[in-house]
Chains A and B, each alone.
Chain A
Amino acid sequence: QQQVKQSPQSLIVQKGGISIINCAYENTAFDYFPWYQQFPGKGPALLIAIRPDVSEKKEGRFTISFNKSAKQFSLHIMDSQPGDSATYFCAASGGAPGGGNKLTFGTGTQLKVEL
């Protein structure tokens, strides 16, 4: 059972354009929604995260939009740059019986920003 669905699987954007990646979740116990960026050969690194008590969070060129009623959230990358070319994962956590913050990941989006 895939609890976090992510789309698109891959995305090509022109330099300066807006990259948009979408995720949907099923588990209403989730209460923390981070986005991770991963470069080849590296581990994922936290990009930006949101809690469900707000509908939007912006950090620099990166914005998360969150729709609690629809159980959807998205990542917007403004003014996309070639250095943003990476794989992006949405994730969710919360309500784990053993406590902790285990992350349930989406399937990833390979972003390529072309000159």
Chain B
Amino acid sequence: GAGVSQSPSNKVTEKGKDVELRCDPISGHTALYWYRQSLGQGLEFLIYFQGNSAPDKSGLPSDRFSAERTGGSVSTLTIQRTQQEDSAVYLCASSFGGRGTDTQYFGPGTRLTVL
């Protein structure tokens, strides 16, 4: 039943603080993606998980960004020493597999504001 869920829905933090964003994918979906949506950059890919492995981390903008996935399910995106340019909506998507035609289902996103 349930779709992709993300928490928190909104996060306000101060510059320099660390934040953790959580994604609960659809049950049974092996592929999980993180994207970032911002006014200046549009929708950008960050990282792709297949199971607990991350074969594509090419979109992570700096080493302040990291992500992990445990039990082939929940994923956490961590941003260390947040900067104002990190303010954006962080979207998580999951799909049944990682094939080209597997539909990605998006969560509602976490809106991050860095003051």
Contact = CB atoms under 8 A, between A and B. Distances in A.
Interface of A: 31-32, 34, 36, 41-46, 49, 51, 89, 91, 93-94, 96-108
Interface of B: 4, 31, 33, 35, 42-45, 48, 50, 55-59, 91, 93, 95, 98-109
A57 to B, nearest CB: 12
A102 B33 contact: yes
Given A44-B106, A101-B104, A106-B42, 18 more contacts: A31-B100, A43-B4, A43-B91, A43-B93, A43-B106, A96-B48, A96-B56, A97-B58, A99-B55, A100-B48, A101-B33, A101-B98, A101-B99, A102-B56, A102-B59, A103-B35, A108-B42, A108-B43
A77 to B, nearest CB: 20
